[in-house]
């Protein structure tokens, strides 16, 4: 005897559905979810009581009275995005629809350690929240990107290369004291960048690959519209590949990432603190910098080609500060891809440069924070907490209800 399929009917499923489609009528929601009218009515009542949804007017009807339209109340809370880089970090606050409301950034060295980085971040967020007329209590979700492997299930930094003094740090725990009720999502920075680019510029590309070329090297993968993180968040360690695949060869990151270029320029006497400084030197026509960038691009390209052949993305996005030196970095990579076109089944992927630029990481952090918050099980718990608060407020206002 075939078992019956059980469909989830919690408020989290309804909230995620409403969030995904703009505005809805009751009839549209019934058709989409297949629920009974009584179940839908109860869930809508709960979500309205929590302030998470609202009426947004009426939709035209084919006959009779226009139907009320229902949508997510984007102002019901905020989400924080944190993009931690090797030498530079960015912060953003967004509404529940993902619209960025405030941003900040600073040259904060990841080598300073997690305490210093997050002390800075929380202080900045307090200031930005105050400027927006918000408080820590309004923070419902936090997305965090780090420049090394981070297990998305536990929020723990695992076997770091670029941030060795973060080994074993539970990144999510660094923000919980300030925002105890917020959902926290932690991913590798290149993964959240890939998600941001896919949402912003390639929404129909269900399989996308992003290569980050900056202080470190990495690849982010979107498969079926979702981030592929790999075991313990270790997917996409481009910089760890050995040149030519030989065990005795140097790692790609040791010759082609931004930090060895920076090291060589500093030894020459240049004042170079960040990868942006490297790009600035190239734009001024510095021959050594131009040559090193081209060498790096030609070293990276074969590994990117192999990864793209194996993965088969429809789009490959080049991102990271060093791609701003387009003639020295992007053009050699594209040229080598074209030379290898016959190796790709169905032809080359679309080759593109980031549209979000240096903001890709923080935009992606907001996206993964929101995605975590709207997961049905987590959203169920959020609704239950807010219903409890709403009930307590009613009882305080009218003691006869207690």
How many Cβ atoms sit within 10 Å of the Cβ of residue 275?
A: 26
Confidence of residue 198 (pLDDT cuts 50, 70, 90): very high
| pTM over cut 0.85 | yes
Confidence of residue 391 (pLDDT cuts 50, 70, 90): confident
pLDDT the model gives residue 58: 66
CB 367 within 8 A of CB 374: no
pLDDT the model gives residue 201: 95
CATH of domain 1-73: 1.10.10.10
Confidence of residue 389 (pLDDT cuts 50, 70, 90): confident
Tell me the pLDDT tens digit for each residue of 273-328: 889 999 999 999 999 999 999 999 999 999 999 999 999 999 999 999 999 999 99
Burial class (CB in 10 A: 0-12, 13-18, 19+), 124: buried
Mean of per-residue pLDDT scores for the chain = 90
Do 202-356 and 78-193+361-384 have the same topology in CATH? yes
Yes or no: domain 202-356 corresponds to CATH 1.10.10.10:
no
CB 282 within 8 A of CB 289: yes
Instruction: Please tell me the distance from the alpha carbon of residue 231 to that of residue 256, in angstroms, as a whole number.
Output: 25
Domain residue ranges of the chain, discontinuous segments joined by + = 1-73, 78-193+361-384, 202-356
Name residue, tokens 């350690």: 113
Tell me the pLDDT tens digit for each residue of 36-86: 999 999 999 999 999 999 988 766 555 555 678 999 999 999 999 999 988
Report, as an integer, the average pLDDT of 237-241: 92
> Taking the chain, what is the end-to-end CA distance rounded to the nearest angstrom?
48
Tokens of 270: 């240049």
Share of residues in the chain with pLDDT > 70 (%): 94
Share of residues in the chain with pLDDT > 90 (%): 76
pLDDT the model gives residue 2: 43
Tell me the pLDDT tens digit for each residue of 212-224: 999 889 999 999 9
Q: Could you name the CATH architecture of 78-193+361-384?
A: 2-Layer Sandwich (3.30)
Is the pLDDT reported for residue 3 higher than 50?
A: no
Is the pLDDT reported for residue 164 higher than 90?
A: no
**Main-chain dihedrals φ then ψ at residue 349, nearest 5 degrees:** -70, 160
């Amino acid at each position: 005897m075939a078992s019956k399929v059980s469909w989830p009917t919690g408020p989290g499923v309804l909230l995620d559905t409403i969030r995904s489609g703009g505005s809805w009528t009751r009839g549209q929601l019934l058709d989409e979810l297949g629920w009974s009218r009584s179940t839908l009515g109860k869930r809508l009542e709960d979500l309205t009581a929590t302030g998470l949804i609202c009426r947004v007017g009426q939709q035209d009807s084919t006959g009779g009275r226009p139907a009320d339209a229902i949508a997510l109340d984007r102002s019901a809370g905020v989400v924080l995005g944190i993009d931690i880089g090797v030498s530079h970090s960015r912060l953003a606050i967004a509404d529940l629809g993902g619209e960025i409301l405030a941003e900040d950034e600073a040259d904060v060295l990841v080598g300073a350690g997690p305490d210093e980085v997050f002390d800075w971040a929380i202080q900045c967020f307090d200031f930005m929240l105050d400027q927006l007329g918000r408080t820590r209590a309004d923070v419902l979700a936090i997305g965090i990107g780090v420049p090394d492997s981070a297990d998305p299930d536990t929020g723990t930094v695992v076997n770091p290369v670029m941030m060795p003094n973060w080994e074993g740090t539970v990144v999510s725990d660094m923000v919980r004291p300030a925002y105890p009720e917020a959902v926290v999502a932690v991913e590798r920075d290149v993964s959240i960048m890939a998600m941001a680019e896919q949402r912003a510029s390639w929404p129909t590309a269900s399989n996308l690959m992003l290569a980050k070329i900056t202080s470190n090297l990495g690849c982010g993968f979107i498969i079926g519209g979702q981030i592929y993180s790999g075991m313990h968040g270790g997917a996409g360690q481009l910089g760890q590949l050995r040149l030519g695949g030989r065990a005795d060869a140097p790692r790609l990151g040791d010759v082609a990432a931004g930090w060895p270029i920076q090291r060589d320029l500093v030894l020459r006497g240049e004042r170079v603190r960040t990868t942006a400084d490297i790009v600035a030197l190239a734009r001024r026509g510095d021959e050594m910098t131009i040559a090193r960038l081209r060498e790096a691009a030609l070293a990276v390209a074969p590994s990117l080609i192999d990864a793209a052949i194996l993965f088969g993305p429809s789009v490959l996005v080049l991102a990271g500060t060093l791609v701003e030196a387009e003639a020295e970095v992007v053009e050699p990579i594209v040229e080598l891809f074209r030379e290898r076109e016959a190796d790709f089944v169905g032809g080359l992927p679309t080759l593109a440069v980031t549209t979000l630029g240096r903001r890709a990481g923080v935009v992606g952090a907001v996206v993964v924070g929101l995605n975590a918050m709207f997961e049905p099980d987590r959203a169920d718990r959020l609704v239950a907490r807010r219903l409890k608060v709403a009930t307590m407020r009613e009882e305080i206002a009218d003691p006869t209800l207690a």
